Each structure stands twice: as C-alpha cells, then as structure tokens.
Amino acid sequence: MTASSPEAGALEALIEALKRLPGVGQKSAQRMAYHLLQHDRDGARLMAEALRAAAEGIGHCERCHTFSESALCPVCADPERDARQLCVVETPADQAALERTNSYRGYYFVLLGRVSPLDGVGVQQIGAAELLARASEGGVEEVILASSFTAEGEATAHVLAEALRSRGIRATRLARGVPVGSELEYVDLGTIAHALVDRR
C-alpha cells in the first residue's frame, strides 16, 4: 500500500485490468471499479462471464474474416444477399457500421488491417491474395473498397484497386463528400473540393 494507491490486491488488480479498455485511464478505472463493487456486483459477474465467453467463443468467419461464433458469419451464411457485390472494409467494426446503414445487401471481406509501410504492413499482410481469390469467385461483379479515408486507408484502397483492375475486376470506392447534417462553412476544404469534383 503506497501513498499513491491505497487500493490493494483484487481491487488494485481490477483497476489495472479496466485500464486496458480504450479511453479508460486511472481515474475512470477507479470510478468503474468502485461503482461495480458498491452498486453493481451482478454487473461485474455478468461482465466477467461476457468477457470470458467472447474471448473464448468469438473467432473469425472463414469466408469474410469478420468476428463470428460459427464457421460462417450470419452475413456470409445468408444466401439471400447479393453475390455480385463484395465490400472490402478494414475492421469488423467497420463492417458492423455498414450493416447498420441497412443500405447494402452484398457480401463483405474484412482485411483486419490496412497498408502501413512505416509499420511494415504491406499488401500481403492484409490478405490481398485471399481477397483476389475471393473476388475472382464466380458471381462477383464489383468490389466496393470501403477502407478508411485516411492516408493509410487510401493507400490500401489504391493498391487493392490496382490489383483488382489488373485482373479485370471492377473496383469502386465509397463516395467522398459532405457529411449528412453538416454546414458547408464548417466542412474542411479537402472534403468540399472532393464533393465538388464528384458532384452529380
């Protein structure tokens, strides 16, 4: 027990563990730990079980690589989806965001990464070969590149588009433009310039 941390043992361990959550520092972790112990022990037990079950039970879909508890994720297992479209995203969270829009009916391919030369992540490390094989399967007419609109995401889209087009597969990119609900005055200039070029 030191001056800076009067917590000991299990409480200290819980605070340290909670600090591994993104966006949670010492103060938030303390607040969470004390809250759970004082007001919601059932919640703590439930969370322990949910974390264990998720860490053990959630793997990757063998077809699109998103998180899945079964060999095929619900989207890949759904024969009603449009097999002519394949949407490439960086992460399972991106895939979930697209699903939430309820405006895409094709299949997905999750890269689980993006090209980042500085970190030594090349096009091989993000499963490009697998994507090319998947895109060459009968029925895929268009690959929609939905990687992030960051430098690394753009680089990823660029190299994948090159590779796909060289194999005669049509590759498109999500539209860049002004976000819904925003006032032009506050939108950054690069976005406005893109929206102007891509006007329709």
* Residue in this structure with the two tokens 């999500």, named with its chain if needed: 174
Q: Are 47 and 40 in contact (CB under 8 A)?
A: no
Q: With respect to a second copy, which residue has the nearer C-beta, 24 or 169?
A: 24
Least distance in Å: CB of 74 to a second copy?
5
H or E element at residue 101: helix 92-101
Instruction: Give strand pairing partners of 107.
Output: 86
* Residue in this structure with the two tokens 């990823």, named with its chain if needed: 156
Tell me: does residue 41 bind a second copy (CB under 8 A).
Answer: yes
With a CB cutoff of 8 Å and minimum separation 6, the contacts of 84 are 106, 139, 140, 141, 142
Q: Site residues for a second copy, window 56-115 (CB under 8 A)?
A: 57-58, 67, 69, 74-75, 91-93, 95-96, 99-100, 102, 112
Among 18, 89, 115, 171, binds a second copy (CB under 8 A): 18
Phi, then psi, of 125 in degrees rounded to 5: -70, -20
Among 51, 133, 192, 193, binds a second copy (CB under 8 A): 51
Q: Which residues of the chain form contacts with a second copy (CB under 8 A)?
A: 1, 3-11, 13-14, 16-18, 20-23, 28, 30-38, 40-41, 43-55, 57-58, 67, 69, 74-75, 91-93, 95-96, 99-100, 102, 112
